[in-house]
Amino acid sequence: MIMSPVDQIAELFDSAAARDYLGEPVTVAAHLLQAGALARAAGAPAALVAAALLHDVGHLRGADPAVAEPSGRELMAGSDNRHGERGAAWLAQWFGEQVTEPVRLHVAAKRYLCAAEPSYFALLSQASVYTLSVQGGPMSPAEAREFEALPYAAGAVAVRRWDDQAKDPSVAVPGFEHFRALLGEFILNG
Ligand code: FE
């Protein structure tokens, strides 16, 4: 049986890896649903809501033994799993750059914000501070200028800020079903 793209994504949100915490007070699934809900509440365009919802699919894909990719657990064990790039490459089979580029760049956006905003680092969770060291640390001024010039830099920074906020265990998160229509329409209409 061929699964629809939205069903394939739903399956990832329902996987054992999605129930993992990866050093945060919320599961990966709750984190992603919370990020999507924050983007939606902010009135973000559909592409950015989708990007926020899907930004960590690289962690989930990597946990599937049938997929020869490193998981979020490997990142937490100290080796960069390049989950932004891997997640974006998987999503590119259905979504355009408006979705995949912010996903691909959400780790770079953390490294960028550490360089560009002196107050940003203090907002990071302990796990994010740890992974920052694995992911290359804050950008140099030259790297930050290069990042700013990328066409989807602003979208990636927006996703990053929702990402950082989406770790609140006291917030009730909507179910994946809540985003089905948005994802489905986006896949059909680009
Ligand atoms: Fe995240």
* pLDDT one-digit tens code per residue, 102-143: 999 999 999 999 999 989 999 999 999 999 999 999 999 999
Interval between CA 56 and ligand 1 midpoint (Å): 5
CATH topology for the 5-169 domain: Hypothetical protein af1432 (1.10.3210)
Interval between CA 186 and ligand 1 midpoint (Å): 21
What protein residues have CB closer than 5 angstroms to ion ligand 1? Answer: 56, 163
Interval between CA 187 and ligand 1 midpoint (Å): 22
For residue 155, is pLDDT > 70?
yes
* pLDDT one-digit tens code per residue, 54-110: 999 999 988 788 887 888 889 999 988 999 999 999 999 999 999 999 999 999 999
Q: What is the DSSP string of the chain?
A: -PPPHHHHHHHHHTSGGGG--TTSSS-HHHHHHHHHHHHHHTT--HHHHHHHHHTTHHHHHHT-TTS-S--HHHHHTTS---HHHHHHHHHTTT--HHHHHHHHTHHHHHHHHHHH-TTTGGGS-HHHHHHHHHTT-SPPHHHHHHHHTSTTHHHHHHHHHHHHH---TTSPPPPGGGGHHHHHHHHHH-
> Domain-by-domain residue ranges, the chain?
5-169
Q: What is the mean pLDDT of the chain?
A: 94
Interval between CA 1 and ligand 1 midpoint (Å): 31
